[in-house]
Structure 1
Amino acid sequence: MASSKSVVLAALVANGAIAVLKFGGFLLTGSPAMLSETYHSISDTGNQVFLLVGIRYGARDATRSHPFGYGKAQFFYSFLVSVMLFGIAGWESAKHGYSALTGHGRVLSAQAEFLGFQFPGVWVNYAVLLGGIAFESYAFKKAYAEMSRQINDHGWSGFREAFRRTSDTTTLTALTEDTVALLGLGLALVGVFLTEQTGDHVYDAAAALLIGVLLMGFAVALAWENKRLLLGESLPKSDEDELRRIVEEWDDVASIEGFRTVYFGPNDIIVTADLAFNDGLKTNGMDDSITALEDALKAANPAISKVYVEPESDDGT
């Protein structure tokens, strides 16, 4: 939890600073790409606030009305972030880029003026974009290191598998945002450079449109990943099969009548098992066996917070 919070705080500081720089660059130069990137950074800054709310809310203790705690709050707020990323940053960026391409929006000014001094507008954009890359690289490094740690801890093959399997949607969202931010800054830098070299504003406008499309694409992917956890996804099959194997090989267990796992928050898994025990096992012995089995399952997967075992006969009654 602490590592996820530090990742989000780093992104919040970086995006807040970048938003100010980009908006200042847009005011001075009128660059469509700079305005698209301003929308992007404002959205990202608000998104970090949502993620921090999700972390704080999700850490609340269980109550009567929420007996399994509030861990799914992080899934919900991460889903909101994906909606904002699509609806505000992505749509507004694409719309503004399209407007500039069709000749209805502002274009990059050749000269910028500040405190009575005039200078080439492109210098402002280069300075802002390079500064943005520096800030965003800092945030990306934090998120990348945390996700790499999780990949090593879980033995995942790489970031693609981590994207599909992680329950830490806060870190996943921060890493996705930071990755898209760096790609967007790169597109804006290329667009501004080509416009400066050719004098054709279509490159700057096209960069703004591409940034919007990029944001909307990543937002849809992020929303899909959050949806699976909001709807109550089980552990990946390989992980669940390992837990089932432990139960099947347990000395006192005759058969498994039912076995379920579900995420109730990042690193918060509930396991339920309907088990038929060997004939002749006394009540005290069954209680001890169930307690030992619960401990064995938790040892196999430290993310398991609760295990519920329901003894049944072989015919399921």
Structure 2
Amino acid sequence: MAAHTSKRVIYAALAGNTAIALTKLAAALFTGSAAMLSEAIHSFVDTGNQLLLLFGLRRAAMPADAQHPFGYGLQLYFYTFVVAVLIFGVGAVVSILHGIDKIRDPHPVEHAWVNYVVLGIGVIFEGGVWLVALKAFDKERNGRGWLRAVRSSKDPTVFTVLFEDTAALMGLLVALLGVFFSEELGLPVIDGIASVMVGAILAVTAFFLAFESQSLLTGEAADRETREGIAEIARRAAGVSGLNQALTMHFGPHEVFVALSLDFEDSLTAAQVEQTVTRIEQAIKQAYPDVRQIFIEAQSFDADKRGR
């Protein structure tokens, strides 16, 4: 269900950004507005990003094999990081450089009304996509604060689209004001400044997305409630005298790996230890369906402490 929701959000963003990008590019070439060209670049980058996210989802859904025994879930995080790099490298840098050129060599925007029409249409399209992403993310955050929900989310596709479209709406507002004041005050340099500001918005968005995706890519644990619940199930299992370690890691938004080091009662036979391990695995997977693989190590507390 979550993957379906992610794809629906991405498809909505892909359709909207493709239409907006082509419209903005035509308007930029017709009017000569630097801010509008920056917005066109922004929309083309977003379109490419949505394609990358869809490719990442497809790769992440591939079954495990000999080369990737834990599956391909981490590929989604990799492509999310690539999206952040593209937003900065292509969107932000190109917009800033183009704006600087316009500041150095300012020229008036022609047929400004075209920009107003296109930017207005852009706000409608981007606003619609933003509402779709917002609705999906609001369900995912489940009553948590916005920042906490982003930091704890293991599915980067929804909040990536949400942040991209938030940046897009902010960029549209900046471009609109840049064209307006450039024309009203007779200062074409303002159009260049607006382009630089659009680039700055993209740079901040790219930095935040890169920070979040690198954390997931390098191995984030399950959320605190899940970790504590798993540890409690293992600790309370009959035949377990102590819990040494309970380690978790996300290999995808809904693929959690669990490694437990348990100290079993010395009186248990090998067959009883096997039965206890089976009961623990069943209880954990029943309570937390996202847990796909569990490895349990039988080790005394002293041996585990020496090993660490």
Query: Is the structural similarity TM-score above 0.5?
Result: yes
Q: Which amino acid aligns with 1:54?
A: G
Displacement of 1:215: 0.3
**Cα distance between partner residues in 2 of 1:268 and 1:180:** 30
Instruction: State the aligned residue count.
Output: 302
Matched residue, 1:108: 109
**2:221 equivalent to 1:234:** yes
Q: C-alpha offsets along residues 124-157 of structure 1, whole Å, 9 cap, x if unaligned? A: 11111111111111211221111111111xx5x2
**Cα distance between partner residues in 2 of 1:184 and 1:48:** 18
2:96 pairs, out of 74, 94, 97, with: 94
Q: Which has the larger helix fraction?
A: 2
Matched residue, 1:219: 206
What TM-score, normalized by structure 2, do the two folds share?
0.93
Matched residue, 2:148: 161
Displacement of 1:238: 4.5
Correspondence list, 1:135-214, <5 A: 135-152=125-142, 157-214=144-201
**Unaligned runs of at least 5 residues, structure 1:** 110-120
Matched residue, 1:272: 259
Q: Is the 8 A contact 2:35 2:99 kept in 1?
A: yes
Matched residue, 1:7: 9
**Cα distance between partner residues in 1 of 2:6 and 2:266:** 48
Q: Is the 8 A contact 1:8 1:174 kept in 2?
A: yes
Q: C-alpha offsets along residues 216-258 of structure 1, whole Å, 9 cap, x if unaligned? A: 1110111111111111121244542332223222232111222
**Cα distance between partner residues in 1 of 2:236 and 2:108:** 70
Q: Is the 8 A contact 1:257 1:316 kept in 2?
A: no
Q: Is the 8 A contact 1:100 1:107 kept in 2?
A: no
**Cα distance between partner residues in 1 of 2:163 and 2:103:** 28
1:54 pairs, out of 53, 56, 61, with: 56
**Cα distance between partner residues in 1 of 2:125 and 2:89:** 24
Q: C-alpha offsets along residues 68-97 of structure 1, whole Å, 9 cap, x if unaligned? A: 111111001111000000000110011111
**Cα distance between partner residues in 2 of 1:278 and 1:23:** 71
SS of 2:247's partner is: strand
Matched residue, 2:296: 309
Q: Is the 8 A contact 1:79 1:223 kept in 2?
A: yes
**Cα distance between partner residues in 2 of 1:128 and 1:252:** 69
Q: C-alpha offsets along residues 87-135 of structure 1, whole Å, 9 cap, x if unaligned? A: 00110011111221222x65412xxxxxxxxxxx121111111111111
Q: Is the 8 A contact 1:32 1:107 kept in 2?
A: no
**Cα distance between partner residues in 2 of 1:189 and 1:241:** 50
Q: C-alpha offsets along residues 193-216 of structure 1, whole Å, 9 cap, x if unaligned? A: 222322222322211110101101
2:278 pairs, out of 288, 291, 301, with: 291
2:121 pairs, out of 128, 131, 136, with: 131
CA pair 106-227 structure 1, distance change in 2 beyond 3 A: farther
Q: Is the 8 A contact 1:16 1:45 kept in 2?
A: yes
**Percent sequence identity over aligned pairs:** 38
**Cα distance between partner residues in 1 of 2:129 and 2:222:** 29
**2:237 equivalent to 1:250:** yes
**Cα distance between partner residues in 1 of 2:301 and 2:176:** 67
**Cα distance between partner residues in 2 of 1:59 and 1:107:** 51
Superposition CA RMSD, Å: 1.6
Correspondence list, 1:11-30, <5 A: 11-30=13-32
Q: Which amino acid aligns with 2:35?
A: A
2:37 pairs, out of 35, 38, 42, with: 35
**Unaligned runs of at least 5 residues, structure 2:** none
Q: Is the 8 A contact 2:240 2:262 kept in 1?
A: yes
Matched residue, 1:117: none
Displacement of 1:309: 1.0
Q: Which amino acid aligns with 1:127?
A: V
Question: Which deviates the most, 295-304 or 129-138?
Answer: 295-304
**Cα distance between partner residues in 2 of 1:106 and 1:251:** 79
